[in-house]
Structure 1
Amino acid sequence: MGNQSVISIEAVIDYIESHLDGKLELETVAEAVHYSKYHLHRLFTETVGMTIHDYVQRRQLTEAAKLLVFSDKPIIEIAFICGYESQQSFSLAFKAMYKSPPAEYREERSFYPLQLRFILHRRTTAMEFTIQDIRLAEKKDIVDWMNLMRLVIDGYPVMDEDDYLAKLEESIDEKRALVLREGDILIGAMAFTYSPGSIEFLGVHPQYRNRGLQKLFLDALLETYLQGQEISTTTFREQDKADTGHRDMLLQLGFAEKELLTEFGYPTQRFVLPPKKQEDIQHG
């Protein structure tokens, strides 16, 4: 992806961020940045990993969630501030993403972002990566890791940053955190546990996401750290509107669906990669 298209998408994101209080249709945005709808749709989706419509909706609802928890504004007013034309349409959209209606979410007093502002890198290359490029994370990776986490936050419901940071420091101390860098850009990160074997976090920078890096991390895990063990992880349940594709990714990697869970009050599902399946992956 050229530098030019990154700069264009940065302009689009700037425009969206300053117009979160209005109706942000693809058409409106395309006109504002002088692009055809078709071209903008393709470029944005390729760069950010979701459509403008999804990104806008997730950004608006994140701002709404923030206002519900940190302000006393009436819900109808928050609906208008965040680009919705009625309280009903706002409540439906909010509940689909946050799993509870606005009033109930407000009572919980516990804000978490669905989507943070997207930050892009201008220097990405088409380098090929191998398992050898993946190494154990160090303390100096923490800042970049937290930034990557904010970029892939769509995959992690109910994300609490302080709590996450404490867990990350522990993972690094205990040598169960892996990173993949390209120069000064952290493009992938994985935190895991040894017994039972599980993947706690797997994030790949969206600008690199079509490069098979999830599988590379999984291979590194199977070869070096969790040989012959069953590996489990959790993700969204089927049909969850908040899922931008994380469930499909696990299925593509060979994970099988297990029981439904509720974590931090959020409906999730456990997925497992059995040892037999791992041999197929490694020799396939």
Structure 2
Amino acid sequence: MANRNIENITAVIDYVEDHLTEKLDLDRIAEAVHYSKYHLHRMFADTVGLTVHDYIQRRRLTEAAKLLVFSDKPILEIALTAGFESQQAFTACFTSMYKTAPGRYRETERFYPLQLRFHLEGSYAMLEQKQRRQWDIAFAVQEDIPCWMELVRLVVDGFPCLDEAEYVRVLKEKIRTGQALILKDGAMAVGILLFTGETGSIDFMGCHPLYRKMGIPKAFLDKVMGELLKGRELSITTFREGDRADTGHRRAIKGLGFAEAELLVEFGYPTQRFVLHRKEGEDGGE
């Protein structure tokens, strides 16, 4: 993607974030950034991976969740601030995305985001390459943690109930034990993966939205299954079918060859396990 398009999307995001508590629709945003709404819709979805409407709704619900946990504001006031016309409408939408009602969520005193502000910063040198090179996927080191976490925040929509402090603790241990892989474009992480060798579990896999069509997740899986856990069956968990909070992660995982397995509940959130079977003819030996 040309840097010009990235600049345009950044301008759109800046406008949305500056007016998040106001009435926003595609017509108003398109007029503000001087684009046709049809071109804006297509360009935004291609870059961010969400429609403008979905991005706004998820950002508003995230800010509402933050107010529920960190303020004493009445739920009705929070609902109106988030752009809903009634507390009932807010409760229905919040519950469908967070899997718990606003009042009960407040009682947990534990905030997690549906969608953080989308940041587009970096050189994106790989995107300009006409010939795709072999991916230089490496074991992460402690110095990679800052750029790793920047990517985590960018793809947090795929990982409900993520506690950042606990995640960093696990990440440090995975780095120490050689179970954290990273792909970087300059100083920016564009692909990351945590795995557990003993079980074949993929504990976290994230790809920068601008690079999601370049085959990076498959390259990570090929490295894990072909080199590190040779021939082993891999598993991963994601959203259940029909979950409104899913922005396409379930479809992407199935597209990588994972097959549906059992339904689970993780950290109080309904999920489903998927399994990637070893290829026929592989014996799993060295």
| Coarse TM-score class (shorter-chain normalised) | over 0.9
**C-alpha distance after superposition, 1:51-80 (max 9, x if no partner):** 111111100000000001111111110011
- Consecutive aligned runs of 4 or more in structure 1 exceeding 3 Å deviation: 276-279
Distance 2:88 2:107 in 1: 19
**C-alpha distance after superposition, 1:69-109 (max 9, x if no partner):** 11111111001111111112111110111001111111111
Aligned: 1:236 with 2:239:
yes
Task: State the AA in 2 paired with 1:66.
Answer: K
SS in 2 for 1:275: coil
Residue matched to 1:63: 63
Residue matched to 1:282: none
Structure 2 stretches lacking a partner, 5+ long: none
Aligned: 1:184 with 2:187:
yes
Cα distance, 1:172–1:268 mapped onto 2, change above 3 Å: same
Spell out the pairing of 1:92-131 with structure 2 (5 A cutoff). 92-124=92-124, 125-127=127-129, 128-131=132-135
SS in 2 for 1:271: strand
Spell out the pairing of 1:245-256 with structure 2 (5 A cutoff). 245-256=248-259
Query: Would the aligned equivalents of 2:181 and 2:192 in 1 still touch at CA under 8 Å?
Result: yes
Aligned residues: 278
Residue matched to 1:144: 147
Which residue of 174, 178, 181 corresponds with 2:177?
174
Aligned: 1:26 with 2:26:
yes
Distance 1:79 1:129 in 2: 49
Task: State the AA in 2 paired with 1:226.
Answer: L
The TM-score, its normalising length taken from structure 1, stands at 0.95
Residue matched to 2:264: 261
Distance 2:267 2:3 in 1: 40
The TM-score, its normalising length taken from structure 2, stands at 0.94
Task: State the AA in 2 paired with 1:130.
Answer: Q
Cα distance, 1:34–1:214 mapped onto 2, change above 3 Å: same
Query: Would the aligned equivalents of 1:254 and 1:277 in 2 still touch at CA under 8 Å?
Result: no
Distance 1:122 1:106 in 2: 36
Task: State the AA in 2 paired with 1:142.
Answer: I
Query: Would the aligned equivalents of 2:99 and 2:269 in 1 still touch at CA under 8 Å?
Result: yes
Structure 1 stretches lacking a partner, 5+ long: 280-284
SS in 2 for 1:203: strand
Task: State the AA in 1 paired with 2:194.
Answer: A
Aligned: 1:220 with 2:220:
no
Query: Would the aligned equivalents of 1:3 and 1:122 in 2 still touch at CA under 8 Å?
Result: no
Distance 1:235 1:138 in 2: 26
Percent of residue pairs identical: 56
Aligned: 1:211 with 2:247:
no
Residue matched to 2:52: 52
Query: Would the aligned equivalents of 2:122 and 2:188 in 1 still touch at CA under 8 Å?
Result: no
Task: State the AA in 1 paired with 2:71.
Answer: S
**C-alpha distance after superposition, 1:14-71 (max 9, x if no partner):** 1111111122211111111111001101111111111111111100000000001111
Query: Would the aligned equivalents of 2:225 and 2:234 in 1 still touch at CA under 8 Å?
Result: no
Offset at 1:121?
Answer: 2.8
- CA RMSD in angstroms comes to 1.3
SS in 2 for 1:276: coil
Residue matched to 2:276: 273
